[in-house]
Chains A and B, each alone.
Chain A
Amino acid sequence: MVPRGSPGFMLKGSSVADPSWLRGRAAIVGIGSTAYGRRGEFTRRGELSMAAEAVAAACADAGIAPADIDGWSSYSMDGTEPGDLAHAFGSRPVRLASMTHGGGGAAIGGAFLHAAMAVATGQADVCVVYRSICQGKLPFGQAMARASRLPPAFSWAAPYGLMAPGQMFALAAVRHMHLYGTTEEHFSRIAINARDMAANNPQARFREPLSADQYFSMPYIYEPLRRPDLCMESDVAVAVVITSAERAADLDSDAAHIAAASIGAPQRFGQGLLGSYNMRDDDFASAGQRTVAADLYSKAGLGPADVDVAQIYDHFSPLVLMGLEDFGFCEVGESGPFVDDGGIGLDALPLNTAGGNLAEVYAHGMTQVSEAVRQLRGTAVNQVAGAEVALVVGGAGPTPTSALILTKGAP
């Protein structure tokens, strides 16, 4: 046998001696995006051009010239390279070119963690986290569906007709229903909340209200999931400017301080619902985020009771329920009763206040970060009065998933 560490490390939070070392040392000082396009709308324009527009907008918001950027950070195999953006803007020599592996919006917190670490240590002065996606480039599942022979890594689910993440995450939803009595009505509350929030957001793509009757009148797509339970696909780019807390204090823009950023996944989580179905039994019907939550709260010195507004990645509505459990807003298995009893909403836990991936736009979670910043600045469309602590939770997905806590003042 090969010597092994104790699995007991899993839920103890950060292994860093002082988990607070990054707390309050980095801040978000600018946010920007392109228009929110439907899938395929910007295919011909391309991701590099869109990323550049988002970077320019975020820098204008921050009051920093794009030429001053010396750190670039993204995730999920973003197709736009730091070298091309730095070249486009004639930016300072690149000192951070970071990619956090993973899929979809799962690893988003890693991009922020690396940027925050870079400005906190002096490795870089001004970092940009960016994500640019044209989802019309290759409609989901087409490449796999048309392959006569799959790549080996994709050979465990696709031969059985599972190619879209929504199909795979439905497996977690059905397991959650079996274990805890969760219902489609519970899913509907997440979908309806997203539309309620989007109704006030002029930029949101789906602003039509959704009633419970309308929800239940829609056919299943991936039973037990219906169209409103599944996120949209979009063409969009978003960028966020990060600098040190010291430099942020000298800027005119309102800073959102990074209290903590964490990435992680449970042991044996692997590709999660996208490829490995052999994670621990406890983790199957979860968002795979309990280790991230423990680490995040430990780093921030805050807990769920301190969170004024939450942006929880909503690619599929049941995963938001599981995220509420993983991040301690209710007990494991209790998210259904929690949303039934009015647990989410502007007068309870304000959730996905711009409409999220279900109703605003699908930028792999970046617009959930910019919405958190707007809430802390006091400029959100569904403003939470006095919001001082915002939680942003990345997508349940492959290893690693991630989360951030932002605060209005220095934590």
Chain B
Amino acid sequence: MSSQMPGLPAPGLSPISAPYWRAAGERRLLIQRCGDCGAHRHPPTSACYACGSLAIDWDEVAGTGRVYSYVWTHRPVVEIFENLGVYNAAVIELDGTIGEPVRILSRVNEIDRDGLIVGLEVRVDFDPIDDEIALPVFVPLT
């Protein structure tokens, strides 16, 4: 599949989530980290589910991880996506985070249906959305 999937709606930014999307625009994967206990979490939220603190920090992470689960969409939700063909979405569990495991819903580019399996090692890549933000995606590590 191509690395670009034009036509899908673009993410909207909130004050809480904007640092994540803007960092992706600079090809960096930022994960929210509690300013008090240091636990990572995703998606970005307003408090820490490990300790309840409101203090927010961000960490750039290496962006490697493993496929936790996935789905192949054969029939699009609406006709305007028919040009996408059969496409995947995957939950990726990231390496090297602090606290409970951090998972990102994303997709795996450059892979076919037989190649996408739970446990597959992947690394982050970025599909540009516009001048400011990009979509974090993943590709097989090897």
List residues of chain A with CB under 8 Å of any chain B CB. 1-4, 139-142, 144-152, 154-164, 167-168, 170-172, 174-175, 178, 219-223, 267-268, 275-278, 280-281, 284
Q: Mark B81-119, 1 if CB is under 8 A from A, else 0.
A: 100100101010000000011111111000001000010
Please list 26 pairs of residues, one from A and one from B, whose beta carbons are closer than 8 Å in the complex, sorted by A's number. Answer: A2-B52, A2-B53, A146-B78, A146-B80, A149-B12, A150-B12, A151-B12, A152-B11, A152-B13, A156-B11, A156-B105, A159-B8, A161-B73, A161-B76, A161-B107, A167-B73, A168-B71, A219-B74, A219-B75, A267-B49, A277-B105, A278-B101, A278-B102, A280-B100, A281-B101, A284-B68
Lowest 10 A-B CB distances belong to which pairs?
A: A2-B52, A155-B11, A152-B14, A141-B77, A170-B71, A223-B72, A175-B69, A178-B118, A145-B78, A1-B51
* Residue ID in chain B nearest A1 by CB atoms: B51
A154 to B13, CA, bound (A): 10
Contacts A150-B10, A167-B71 known; list 9 others, CB within 8 Å.
Answer: A141-B77, A145-B77, A148-B10, A159-B11, A161-B107, A162-B105, A174-B71, A222-B74, A278-B101
Q: Which residues of A contact B72 (CB under 8 A)?
A: 220, 222-223
Q: Which of A1, A167, A278, A281 contacts B41 (CB 8 A)?
A: A278
- B106→A160 contact, CB < 8 A: yes
CB of B118 within 8 A of CB of A149, answer no
The A/B interface has a contact count, at CB < 8 Å, of 146
Q: Check if B8 sits within 8 Å of A161, measured CB to CB.
A: yes
Which of A156, A223, A268 interacts with B74 by CB under 8 Å?
Answer: A223
**Contact digits for B2-42, partner A, Cβ 8 Å, 1 yes 0 no:** 00010011111110110000000000000000001100011
The answer to whether B9 and A150 have CB atoms under 8 Å apart is yes
When the two chains form their complex, are residues A145 and B12 in contact, meaning their CB atoms are under 8 A apart? Answer: no
Shortest C-beta distance, B4 to chain A (Å), equals: 12
When distances are taken between beta carbons in the complex, the residues of chain A under 8 Å from B52 are 1-4
Contact A221 B74 (CB under 8 A): yes
B70 interface hit (Cβ, 8 Å): yes
* Residues of chain B within 8 A of A219, CB atoms compared: 74-75
B interface residues (Cβ-Cβ under 8 A, vs A): 5, 8-14, 16-17, 36-37, 41-43, 49, 51-53, 68-78, 80-81, 84, 87, 89, 91, 100-107, 113, 118, 129, 135
Q: How far is it, in angstroms, between the C-alpha of A154 and the C-alpha of B43 when the chains are bound?
A: 11
B75: contacting residue among A154, A157, A221, CB under 8 A: A221
Residues in A whose Cβ lies below 8 Å from that of B70 = 171, 174
Q: Kindly provide the distance from the CB of B40 to the nearest chain A CB, expressed in whole angstroms.
A: 10
A168 to B118 Cα, complex, angstroms: 16
With A159-B11, A222-B72: A152-B17 Cβ-Cβ less than 8 Å: yes
Chain B residues in 8 Å Cβ range of A3 = 52
State in angstroms the CA–CA spacing of A281 and B113 once bound together: 25
The CA-CA distance from A149 to B17 in the complex, in Å, is 14
Beta-carbon contact of A159 and B9 below 8 Å: yes
Q: What residues on B are CB-neighbors of A154 within 8 Å?
A: 12
